[in-house]
């Protein structure tokens, strides 16, 4: 179970603002986290706390395929992202690196900045503790659950390659 | 229920007779691609898998193009890491500076993508090879690592939007205007999780370079891939560049689409996308007065020979506006050489433009043309997000090479018709 305070943004949050290309000459998660969201919100790195949940609108993570984007968010402390919709490469990247993300339009719209929110990644249940509302996101299909259980795609592939 | 082109290619690569939209499948890969930004992360992940080698030395391609020739020490270190990896694993398709080009122009040119392929690349514009009737899509570094180790990738079978093309492009209108028009119509998430499948009688009027440009920007509509029906032009291109066997997949007559959109090419005007989203499009007639500081012609979207020819037609015997820095970068060495032989580079230099070696450079605000605060650029690239080409308060306007060249001359966003009258 994940619980945290919400930091909220709007629609079409692209990977260029999540982590600008000028910082892609490193792969160090901590260094990337230090510049996360800075072109959109200079206060983000200063106020994000480990465990915080990000909420956003449509098409979150659109743009480049840089895995540095979910890596930066995860390293900054974000424990889960709830959005109306996700761009597809960001979606797979987040799952592949073990950053839980949930698509739930109602929750994404109604949750506000600063709300305390609880998420059960396994069932897709989202509870807004501040407002007392409950939402149900589509749970991950079994195959993705397996990847998440294996702590990301790399472990999953390693296990399968060992077996074959 | 019939299948779309994409669904048929995926079924064949998953060893299945048929697939349904939404189905999760494991597909065999014909090519796994990465660049100097995404491969370093992939190399680290690959090492964590503990595989002895890559699944097929001929089916992995690594192209250092983003921060190369290296812009600083850190990017040099990243390139060193992937170069070592490429040598250690005897990757046949590692392209060093001097050989390399922008990956999505280079891969088709080297014959590494053919109709019917399934290709993943750790770069979002990997969707470019859909122009050849292949399924190709962008993924992240972890997918690249797993793909290099296993030769496989998981996919969720997409639904599709069908685009029926008819008519013929007007003078000074190109594939870039068509795709900007389409993104303006469907929006930046209009094709989210879906394929954009192009066909119809109008297809014959589009050159391969037009198709590459259009497939390239499928991701800007949120699509998983863009794909074109294979015709004589595709076959001619493939025969010229590759001796690999190819396979043509046609959509079933009764294939199911979420939408069918008719596009009359004859109606399309030169189109510009305003900051900060590719969907903020206006026709050139609606642009108004927008003065500019820089013009960038090149990238995986528009750095091919036809793009340079279009720019040269406008710039011949003219000068770029004294306040406009104009940077032109051919996408590959082969295109560079061709442009040199045709005298295009001379036209550019005479006009007062800077001509660069192939690199992604300015397209992603990397180097070779980064914008300062408040500056505006017209670029033939594919993204105009906040800070994409430099300072967060700079602006990028997306356009065709013809519009970009015309604007370089006048110093404001301009129609090629205005400059050539
Ligand atoms: S030219 Fe631009 S969009 Fe194309 S691969 Fe390079 S950085 Fe990406």
What pLDDT, in 10s, does the model give residues A4-47? 999 999 999 999 999 999 999 999 999 999 999 999 999 999 99
Q: What is the model's pLDDT at position B176?
A: 98
- In the reported structure, the alpha carbon of residue B364 is separated from the centroid of ligand 1 by a whole-number distance in angstroms of 7
- In the reported structure, the alpha carbon of residue B74 is separated from the centroid of ligand 1 by a whole-number distance in angstroms of 19
B79 Rama class: left (phi>0) / alpha (psi -120 to 50) / beta: alpha
Closest ligand 1 atom to A21 CA: 7
Q: Which residues of A touch B38 (CB under 8 A)?
A: 65-67
Mutation target for A interface from B29, B71, B78, B140: give the one with most A CBs within 10 A: B140
User: Do strands A80-83 and A53-56 pair parallel, antiparallel, or not at all (unpaired)?
Assistant: parallel
Together in a domain, B129 and B211: yes
With a 6 Å cutoff on the Cβ, whether B388 touches ligand 1 is: no
Q: What is the model's pLDDT at position B402?
A: 98
Q: Which CATH number does the domain housing residue B385 bear? A: 3.30.499.10
With a 6 Å cutoff on the Cβ, whether B300 touches ligand 1 is: yes
Together in a domain, B260 and B351: no
Together in a domain, B48 and B106: yes
With a 6 Å cutoff on the Cβ, whether B364 touches ligand 1 is: yes
Q: At residue A149, does pLDDT exceed 80?
A: no
Together in a domain, B286 and B346: yes
Q: At residue A164, does pLDDT exceed 80?
A: no
Q: What is the model's pLDDT at position A145?
A: 80
Site of tokens 């921060």: B67
Q: Tell me how many domains chain B contains.
A: 2
Q: Which residues of B touch A27 (CB under 8 A)?
A: 40-41, 44, 78
Q: Model pTM greater than 0.90?
A: yes
- Asked whether the ipTM of the predicted complex exceeds the cut of 0.90, the reply is yes
Together in a domain, B155 and B207: yes
Together in a domain, B160 and B281: no
CB pairs under 8 A between A and B: 136
Nearest in space to B291 (alpha carbons), one of B314, B329, B327, B321: B321
Percent of chain A at pLDDT > 70 equals 99
* Beta-bridge mates of residue A80: A53
Which tops the pLDDT comparison, B210 or A148? B210
Residue that finishes a domain, picked among B264, B288, B320 = B264
Spans in chain B with pLDDT lower than 50:
none
Together in a domain, B224 and B297: no
Q: What is the model's pLDDT at position B1?
A: 84
Together in a domain, B183 and B289: no
- Domain boundaries, position B69: 5-264
Question: Radius of gyration (Cα) for chain A, nearest Å?
Answer: 15
Residue B8: which residues within 8 A CB-CB, separation 6 or more? B249, B250, B251, B252
Decide if B139 and A92 are in contact by the 8 Å CB cutoff. Answer: yes
Together in a domain, B410 and B301: yes
Nearest in space to B43 (alpha carbons), one of A100, A36, A91, A67: A67
Site of tokens 């068509």: B178
Together in a domain, B204 and B301: no
Q: Which ranges in B14-102 belong to alpha helices (H)?
A: 39-49, 73-88
Decide if B143 and A68 are in contact by the 8 Å CB cutoff. Answer: no
């Amino acid at each position: 179970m994940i619980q945290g305070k919400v930091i909220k943004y709007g629609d079409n949050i692209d990977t260029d603002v999540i982590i600008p290309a000028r910082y892609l000459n490193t792969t160090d998660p901590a260094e990337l986290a230090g510049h996360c969201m800075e072109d959109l919100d200079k206060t983000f790195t200063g106020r994000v706390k480990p465990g915080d949940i990000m909420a956003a609108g449509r098409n979150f993570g659109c743009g480049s395929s840089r895995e540095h984007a979910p890596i930066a968010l995860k390293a900054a402390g974000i424990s889960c992202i709830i959005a109306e919709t996700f761009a597809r490469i960001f979606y797979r990247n987040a799952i592949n690196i073990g950053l839980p993300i949930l698509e739930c339009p109602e929750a994404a719209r109604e949750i506000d900045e600063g709300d305390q929110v609880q998420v059960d990644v396994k069932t897709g249940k989202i509870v807004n503790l501040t407002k007392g509302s409950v939402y149900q996101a589509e749970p991950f299909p079994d195959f993705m659950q397996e990847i998440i259980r294996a702590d990301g795609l790399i472990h999953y592939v390693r296990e399968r390659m060992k077996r074959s | 229920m019939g299948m779309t082109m994409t669904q048929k290619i995926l079924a064949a690569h998953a060893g299945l007779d048929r697939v349904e939209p939404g189905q999760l499948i494991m597909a065999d890969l014909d090519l796994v691609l990465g660049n100097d930004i995404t491969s370093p992360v992939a190399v680290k992940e690959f090492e964590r898998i503990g595989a002895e080698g890559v699944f097929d030395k001929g089916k992995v391609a690594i192209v250092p193009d983003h921060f190369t020739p290296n812009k600083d020490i850190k990017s040099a270190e990243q390139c060193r890491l992937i170069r070592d990896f490429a040598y250690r694993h005897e990757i046949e398709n590692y392209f060093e500076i001097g050989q390399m080009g922008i990956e999505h122009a280079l891969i088709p040119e080297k014959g590494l993508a053919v109709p019917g392929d399934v290709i993943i690349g750790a770069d979002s514009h990997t969707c470019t090879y859909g122009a050849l009737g292949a399924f190709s899509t962008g993924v992240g570094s972890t997918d690249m690592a797993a793909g290099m180790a296993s030769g496989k990738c998981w996919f969720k079978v997409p639904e599709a939007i069908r685009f029926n093309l008819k008519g013929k492009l007007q003078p000074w209108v190109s594939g870039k205007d068509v795709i900007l028009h389409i993104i303006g119509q469907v929006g930046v998430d209009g094709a989210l999780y879906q394929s954009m499948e192009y066909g119809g009688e109008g297809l014959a009027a589009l050159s391969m370079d037009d198709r590459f440009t259009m497939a390239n920007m499928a991701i800007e509509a949120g699509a998983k891939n863009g794909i074109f029906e294979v015709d004589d032009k595709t076959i001619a291109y493939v025969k010229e560049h590759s001796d690999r066997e190819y396979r043509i997949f046609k959509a079933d007559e009764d294939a199911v689409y979420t939408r069918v959109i008719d596009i009359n090419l004859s109606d399309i005007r030169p189109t510009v996308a305003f900051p900060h989203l590719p969907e903020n499009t206006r026709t050139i007639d609606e642009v108004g007065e927008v003065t500019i500081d820089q013009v960038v012609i090149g990238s995986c979207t528009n750095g091919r020979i036809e793009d340079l020819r279009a720019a040269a037609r406008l710039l011949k015997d003219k000068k770029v506006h004294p306040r406009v820095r104009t940077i032109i970068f051919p996408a590959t060495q082969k295109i560079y050489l061709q442009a040199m032989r045709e005298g295009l580079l001379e036209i550019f230099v005479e006009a007062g433009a800077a001509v660069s070696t192939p690199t992604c450079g300015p397209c992603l605000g990397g180097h070779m043309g980064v914008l300062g605060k408040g500056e505006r650029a017209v670029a033939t690239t594919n993204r105009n997000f906040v800070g994409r080409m430099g300072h967060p308060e700079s602006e990028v306007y997306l356009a065709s090479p013809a519009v970009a060249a015309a604007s370089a001359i006048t110093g404001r966003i301009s129609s090629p018709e205005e400059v050539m009258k």
